[in-house]
Amino acid sequence: MNYPNGQKRKPSPIQRKSNKQTDFSNRGMTLEEDINQSNKAYLQSGRAVIHKKPTPVQIVHVDFPKRSAAVIKEAYFKQASTTDYNGIYKGKYIDFEAKETRNKTSFPLSNVHEHQIKHMQQVIEHGGICFVIIRFTHHGETYLYPAKKLLPWWERQTNGGRKSIPYHIIQQEGHFIPLAFHIRVDYLSIIDEMNL
């Protein structure tokens, strides 16, 4: 390409790759960003209303370096939060946690906390849809893992058993969520397949 002044411009690396098939596997987005984007698409299309829960924080000290800008200098979590996301889909309550792990061979149960497990149990007892979305960053794979499958692993670990869920078990018992463009992590399509 030539500019009006006669200088030549080399195509950017993105333009040079434009003839290749698009690869969504390494865009640098975190799982949370992908889910937030997906939830926004669900809301805009009227498919579901699902939001990230705010974490309750107690602000202790604030500085005002400028009249228009406040800087929080000290804050504490008021209480332990439950899970990351909740909402409603097809008239059912939906509640889930999102976790990323760099571990290649398993999902460490230390990524989940006891108060979250209790909350998941309560959601299941009341007929809600509850699960964990797990991303194995090394493999570039994302899975929906039902809370009903997670709870026995938690129980075993509290009784001295294994402290992680093997990767191959999550592949078998979980549901692979392929990354897409419009809805990055289309977990509602997986829920539809599961007939929940």
Known binding site: residues? 82, 84, 97, 116
- Cα of 18 vs its chain's centroid, Å: 29
Which amino acid is residue 99, in one-letter code?
K
Known binding residues for Mg(2+) are 82, 84, 97, 116
Which value, to the nearest 10 degrees, does the dihedral of the CA atoms of residues 52, 115, 173, 134 take? 40
Distance CA 136, CA 99 (A): 9
Helix 147-158 vs helix 114-125: crossing angle, to nearest 10? 140
Distance CA 72, CA 29 (A): 27
Contacts of 195 (CB under 8 A, 6+ apart): none
